[in-house]
A and B are shown apart, each in its own frame.
Chain A
Amino acid sequence: MRIRVSHTTRYDYSPPAKSAIQLLRLTPRGHEGQHVRHWRIDVDAPCRLKAGEDALGNITHAFTLEGPIQSFSVTVDGEVETQDSAGVVRGTVERFPPGLFLRTTTLTEPDDAILALAGEVREAMRRDPIVGLHDLSGMIHARMAFDTEATTTATKAGAALALGHGVCQDFAHIFISAARVLGVSARYVSGYLLRHDGLVVQEAGHAWAEAHVGGLGWVGFDPAHGLSPTDAYVRLAAALDYHGAAPILGSRYGGGQESLDVSVRVEHARRQIQS
Chain B
Amino acid sequence: MTPRAFDEMGGFGEGCRPCYAALKRWLDEAPAELLDQRRKEAELLFRRIGITFAVYGEQAAQERLIPFDIIPRVIAGNEWRKLSHGLEQRVKALNALLKDVYGHREIVRAGVVPEELILCNPYFRPEMAQLRLAGDIYVAIAGIDVVRVDADTFYVLEDNARTPSGVSYMLENREAMIRLFPELFSRQSIAPVDGYPDELLATLHSIAPRRGEESCVVLLTPGPYNSAYYEHSFLADKLGVELVEGRDLFVRDETVFMRTTQGPKRVDVIYSRIDDDFLDPLAFRPDSVLGVPGLMLAYRAGNVSLANAVGTGVADDKAIYSYMPEIVRFYLGEEPILQNVPTWRCREPEALAYVLDHLGDLVVKEVNGSGGYGMLVGPAADAATRRLFAEKLKRRPDNFIAQPTLALSTCPTFVGSGIAPRHVDLRPFVLTGADKVRIVPGGLTRVALVEGSLVVNSSQGGGTKDTWILGE
A interface, CB within 8 angstroms of B: 19, 21, 23, 48, 50, 52, 54-56, 62, 64, 66, 95-97, 99-100, 102-104, 106, 153-154, 240, 243, 249-251, 253
| A102–B119 touching, CB < 8 Å | yes
Whether A64 contacts B294 by the Cβ 8 Å rule is yes
Q: Is the CB of B128 within 8 A of A103?
A: no
Q: Which of B116, B120, B287 has the most CB of A within 10 A?
A: B120
B residues contacting A by CB (< 8 A) are 115-116, 119-120, 122, 124, 126-130, 250-254, 281-282, 285-287, 293-294, 297, 300-301
Residues of A within 8 A of B300 (CB): 52
How close is B324's CB to chain A, nearest CB, in angstroms? 22
Q: Do A55 and B127 touch (CB < 8 A)?
A: yes
**A243 to B283, alpha carbons, bound, how many Å?**
8
User: How many angstroms between the C-alpha atoms of A225 and B230 in the bound complex?
Assistant: 54
Instruction: Give Cα distance in the complex from A104 to B119, angstroms.
Output: 11
How far in angstroms is the closest Cβ of chain A from B368?
A: 12
Please measure, in the bound complex, the distance between the C-alpha atom of A250 and the C-alpha atom of B300, giving whole angstroms: 17
Q: Is the CB of A55 within 8 A of B126?
A: yes
Q: Which residue of A lies closest to B128 (CB)?
A: A55
Asked if B293 contacts A102 (CB within 8 A), the reply is no
Interchain Cβ contacts under 8 Å between A and B, 25 examples: A19-B252, A21-B251, A21-B282, A23-B294, A23-B297, A48-B253, A50-B253, A55-B126, A55-B127, A62-B254, A62-B297, A64-B251, A95-B129, A95-B130, A97-B119, A99-B119, A99-B120, A100-B119, A102-B119, A103-B120, A104-B122, A153-B286, A250-B293, A251-B282, A251-B293
In the assembly, what is the distance between CA of A100 and CA of B116, in Å? 8
Q: A54-B127, A250-B282 are in contact. List 7 more A-B contacts (CB 8 A).
A: A55-B128, A62-B297, A99-B115, A99-B120, A103-B119, A251-B281, A253-B250
Q: Tell me how far the C-beta of B423 lies from the nearest C-beta in chain A, rounded to whole angstroms.
A: 36
**For residue B118, which residue of chain A has the nearest CB?**
A99
A238 CB, nearest partner CB in chain B, Å? 12
| Complex interface: chain B residues within 8 A of A62 (CB) | 254, 294, 297
Which residues of chain B come closer than 8 Å to A52, judged between CB atoms? Answer: 297, 300-301
For B281, give the chain A residue with the smallest CB separation. Answer: A251
CB neighbours of B116 from chain A (8 A): 99, 102
> Taking the nearest CB of chain B, how far is it from the CB of A156, in angstroms?
12
The 7 lowest CB-CB distance pairs between A and B, nearest first, are A251-B293, A21-B294, A55-B126, A55-B129, A100-B119, A64-B252, A55-B127
A-B contacts at CB below 8 angstroms, number: 70
Contacts of A99 in B (CB 8 A): 115-116, 119-120
**Residue pair A96, B293 in contact (C-beta under 8 Å):** no
Please indicate the chain A residues that have their CB under 8 angstroms from the CB of B286 in the complex. Answer: 153-154, 243, 249
- A21-B282, A21-B294, A66-B252 known; A55+B130 contact, CB < 8 A: yes
| A19 contacts across to B, CB distance below 8 A | 250, 252
Grouping DSSP codes into helix (H, G, I), strand (E, B) and loop, the B interface class, with mixed when no group exceeds half, is loop
- Which residues of A are found within 8 Å of B115, using beta-carbon distances? 97, 99
Contacts of B120 in A (CB 8 A): 99-100, 102-104
- Return A187 CB to nearest CB of chain B, in Å: 11
Most buried by B among A56, A99, A243, A251: A251
Cα distance A250–B286 in the bound complex, in angstroms:
10
A64 to B292, CA, bound (A): 13
In the bound complex, residues from chain B placing their C-beta under 8 Å from that of A243 are 286
CB distance from A235 to the nearest CB of B (A): 19
Is the beta-carbon distance between B293 and A21 smaller than 8 angstroms? yes
Q: Cβ of B294 and Cβ of A251 under 8 Å apart?
A: yes
Closest to B129 in A: A55
Give min CB distance, B6 to chain A, whole Å.
Answer: 42
Q: How far is the CA of A54 from the CA of B124 in the complex (A)?
A: 15
- For residue B293, which residues in chain A have a CB less than 8 angstroms away from its CB? 21, 250-251
Q: CA separation between A46 and B138, bound complex, in Å? A: 36
Measured between beta carbons, the chain A residues less than 8 angstroms from B301 are 52
Contact B285 A106 (CB under 8 A): yes
- Among B127, B252, B282, contact of A249 (Cβ-Cβ < 8 Å): B282
A97 to B119, CA, bound (A): 9
A6 CB, nearest partner CB in chain B, Å: 25
Q: Which chain A positions have C-beta within 8 A of B251? A: 21, 64
Contacts of B128 in A (CB 8 A): 55
A87 to chain B, nearest CB (A): 25
Considering the chains assembled together, what is the distance between the CA atoms of A21 and B293 in angstroms? Answer: 7
- The reply to whether A100 and B294 contact each other, CB–CB distance below 8 Å, is no
Asked if residues B129 and A96 are in contact (CB atoms below 8 Å), the reply is yes
Among B126, B253, B297, B301, max chain A CB count under 10 A is at: B126
Bound Cα distance from A106 to B300, whole angstroms: 23
> Which of B124, B254, B285 contacts A50, CB < 8 Å?
B254
CB A107 to nearest CB in B, in angstroms, measures: 10
Residues of chain A with a CB closer than 8 A to B122's CB: 104
Chain A: which residue is nearest B251 at the CB level?
A: A21
* Complex Cα spacing A48 to B297, Å: 14
- Given the complex, which residues of B lie within 8 Å of A50, measured CB to CB? 253-254, 297
Give the residues in chain A near B285, CB-CB below 8 Å: 106
**Nearest A residue (CB) for B125:** A55
- The answer to whether A100 touches B126 (Cβ under 8 A) is yes
Distance A99 CA – B294 CA, assembled complex (angstroms)? 27
* Residues of the B chain whose Cβ atoms lie less than 8 Å from the Cβ of A54: 127
Instruction: Report how far A208 CA is from B282 CA in the complex, Å.
Output: 21
Contact call A154/B287, Cβ cutoff below 8 A? yes
CB distance from B121 to the nearest CB of A (A): 8
What's the Cα separation between A21 and B292 when bound, in Å?
11
From the candidates B119, B253, B281, name the one contacting A96 in the complex (CB within 8 A): B119
A61 to chain B minimum Cβ distance, whole angstroms, is 11
List B contacts of A103 (CB < 8 A): 119-120, 124
Query: Once bound together, how far apart are the Cα atoms of A250 and B281, in whole Å?
Result: 9
Minimum Cβ distance to chain A for residue B120 (Å)? 5
A45 nearest CB across to chain B (Å): 14
Q: Give Cα A102 to B122, complex, Å.
A: 11
- B282 cross-chain contacts in A, Cβ below 8 A: 21, 23, 249-251
